[in-house]
Amino acid sequence: MFIGEYSHAIDSKNRIIIPSKLREGLGNTFVLTKGLDGCLYAYPMDEWKQLEEKLRKLPLTNKDARAFVRFFFSGANLINIDKQGRALVPQNLLEYGKITKEIVSIGVATRIEIWSKQKWDEYNSSDIDFASIAEKMSELGI
């Protein structure tokens, strides 16, 4: 399980350091793709395979399903972590996430989200009513 929040920077070669506490569960090779809310999602291979199976079951006849699958898979890249714990982020994902220098990596149970610091700060300062969201989640049995 991935938990926690870690601030760091991207280097001049577009590499990020995967914090050691997150690196353990990620493995040496992982999938990095476009995420929702303008961040990037990093999945360990076993989690990616489970997600891939679910997405394959979506009906091709459903326009929204096709769009969602296209969104997720078009941005997906296999990423290797080097011996220093760094991972090279492809340019298209840097652009999607508006990542330039400062980043925040957060653990979100089964995945890691990588945010530009600016977008993360904006997200956290928005008027999200977490009490209301928690109430809705309890209605779903969570």
86-136 residue pLDDT tens: 999 999 999 999 999 999 999 999 999 999 999 999 998 877 777 887 888
The per-residue b/e assignment along 103-118, b for 16 or more CB within 10 angstroms, e otherwise, is: bbbbbeebbbbbbbbe
Comparing C-alpha atoms, which of 59, 26, 20, 63 is closest to residue 41? 26
Tally the residues of the chain: 142
Q: What is the pTM of this model?
A: 0.90
> Above 80 in pLDDT, residue 140?
no
Q: What average pLDDT does the structure give for the chain?
A: 92
For residues 105 and 19, the answer to whether their CB atoms sit within 8 Å is: yes
> Above 70 in pLDDT, residue 142?
no
**Hey, what are 107's tokens?**
């653990």
CATH numbers and ranges of domains, the chain: 5-117 (3.40.1550.20)
> Above 90 in pLDDT, residue 11?
yes
> Above 70 in pLDDT, residue 84?
yes
Half-sphere exposure of 102 (CA within 13 A, CB side): 6
